[in-house]
Amino acid sequence: MVYFCGNSLGLQPKTARAAVLQELDDWAELGVEGHFAGRKPWLHYHKALALPSAQVVGALPHEVVVMNNLTVNLHLLMVSFYRPDQRRFKILMEGGAFPSDQYAVESQVKFHGFRPEEAIVELFPRAGETYLRTGDIEKAIQETGSELALVLFGGVNYYTGQAFDLAAITRAAHVVGAMAGFDLAHAAGNVELQLHDWDVDFAVWCSYKYLNSGPGGAAGAYIHERYAQRPDLPRFAGWWGHREEERFQMRKGFIPMPGAEGWQLSNAQILPMAVHQASLAIFAEAGMAKLRQKSLQLTGFTEFLVQKFNSEQNTYQIQVLTPVDPAARGCQLSLLVAGNGRALFDRLAQAHVIADWREPDVIRIAPVPLYNSFGDVWRFYEILAAID
């Protein structure tokens, strides 16, 4: 089997099973005392995930927390960082963003009493082009200007595979007085990120795609350290975000912990976090720089072979929607097969190539550097070439 679907669900780390079983054993043997006496006490379990998560997204450890799921985190951070008024209320996002982002933004805008068709500005590629130009994004930010409250983009567009210039987008947003936030579902563990150095205000990501932490795994959130000591910042509060030394005194009056931990709601999801910790250990050992280097080579080799396939036959002609510039993409290639794309996808599946179909006409493939090889890519080409 050729598994090219890590952009949707990453494969299981070899250490994941043992990590979960250890927590199940501690639960069986210790019960509630596992919070304090387990091999990895549950009371502080999430803290061990901060540093390796920060290394993946280019942040300081106190700027990162693992909690909840992605869209829950997006809503929580928009409560704090989308603060519209009658003058400044608009949100700029890429047209055709992942549905969760669209729904979250639409509901947040309505919650604040604005009409989505007026408050949400969607930016699409130019006519005849398949991805956005950074200059066009910057221009749209400048033109929206004093009406713009938030720029909310994906780090990598799920459909085209375009990796956006987050540093440039953040700079442009801040120039006009807007916040800059990103959904890194398809970027975390895929491309190199420097959220702190880029001055990004906030970001969220899931862990089940490139971070290989299991279906529905615990998600992550980043909040820049400038907000670490801002108890006045509006937020939806929960007891795990309350000042740690007073948490079990059960008093009224929420006092947030400094840093990203102050946005927590509930205690840690230990079993999903056990898998996540197992996966993050691999990233810490490999390093994002080396993974990115291999990713560039794998993806370039895949694109070369797709174009070779195009030159050798006429039944299927594949257009690569993803940017040609390696710096503007991760490991995903989005392949447009006009008219008969579904037929080609089905033929690939029959030949044990696990890819991803997106309506109306795109096959997404992702040669992931952690577990895909150049041999996998060559096998994919051989299967393609054998389809008539």
Q: What is the CATH number for 303?
A: 3.90.1150.10
Is the pTM of the predicted complex or chain greater than 0.85? yes
What pLDDT is attached to residue 338?
Answer: 81
Of 242, 259, 286, the residue at which a domain comes to its end is 286
| Residue 302 and residue 267 share a domain | no
What pLDDT is attached to residue 300?
Answer: 98
Q: Residues with Cβ < 8 Å from 19, sequence gap 6 or more? A: 274, 275, 277, 278
Helix, strand, coil in percent for the chain, rounding step 5: 45, 15, 40
| Residue 293 and residue 273 share a domain | no
What pLDDT is attached to residue 198?
Answer: 98
| Residue 242 and residue 217 share a domain | yes
What pLDDT is attached to residue 272?
Answer: 98
Residue 210 lies in a domain: yes
Residue 3 lies in a domain: no
Per-residue pLDDT band for 352 (boundaries 50, 70, 90) equals: very high
Of 267, 286, 305, the residue at which a domain comes to its end is 286
Domain that holds residue 168: 16-286
Residue 273 lies in a domain: yes
Among the listed residues 320, 375, 317, 379, the one whose alpha carbon sits nearest the alpha carbon of residue 348: 379
| Residue 24 and residue 93 share a domain | yes
Q: Is the peptide bond preceding residue 256 cis, with omega within 30 degrees of 0?
A: no
Does the structure show a pLDDT above 80 at 36? yes
| Residue 77 and residue 160 share a domain | yes
Q: What is the CATH number for 269?
A: 3.40.640.10
Among the listed residues 102, 107, 140, the one whose alpha carbon sits nearest the alpha carbon of residue 124: 140
Mean pLDDT on 156-161 = 96
| Residue 356 and residue 215 share a domain | no
Total number of domains in the chain: 2
Residue 145 lies in a domain: yes
Per-residue pLDDT band for 374 (boundaries 50, 70, 90) equals: very high
- Tokens describing residue 288: 């994002």
What pLDDT is attached to residue 254?
Answer: 96
- Do 169 and 141 contact (CB within 8 A), yes or no? yes
pLDDT digits (tens, 9 = 90+) for 301-344: 999 999 999 999 878 889 999 999 999 999 999 999 988 899 99
- Tokens describing residue 114: 């604005």
| Residue 191 and residue 114 share a domain | yes
| Residue 332 and residue 271 share a domain | no
Cα–Cα separations (whole angstroms), residue 84 to 115, 134, 149, 215, 282? 12, 25, 6, 34, 41
What pLDDT is attached to residue 313?
Answer: 80
| Residue 278 and residue 204 share a domain | yes
Q: What is the mean pLDDT of the chain?
A: 97
pLDDT digits (tens, 9 = 90+) for 72-110: 999 999 999 999 999 999 999 999 999 999 999 999 999
What pLDDT is attached to residue 5?
Answer: 98
Residue 135 lies in a domain: yes
What pLDDT is attached to residue 388?
Answer: 74
Mean pLDDT on 255-264 = 97
Residue 5 lies in a domain: no
| Residue 96 and residue 62 share a domain | yes
Cα–Cα separations (whole angstroms), residue 156 to 83, 113, 172, 182, 376? 25, 30, 18, 9, 23
Of 251, 286, 321, the residue at which a domain comes to its end is 286
Q: CA 146, CA 382: separation in Å to the nearest integer?
A: 54
| Residue 197 and residue 121 share a domain | yes
| Residue 192 and residue 331 share a domain | no
Mean pLDDT on 24-30 = 98
Residue 214 lies in a domain: yes
pLDDT digits (tens, 9 = 90+) for 167-212: 999 999 999 999 999 999 999 999 999 999 999 999 999 999 999 9
Residue 2 lies in a domain: no
Mean pLDDT on 365-382 = 98
- Do 354 and 180 contact (CB within 8 A), yes or no? no
Mean pLDDT on 355-371 = 95
What pLDDT is attached to residue 343?
Answer: 93
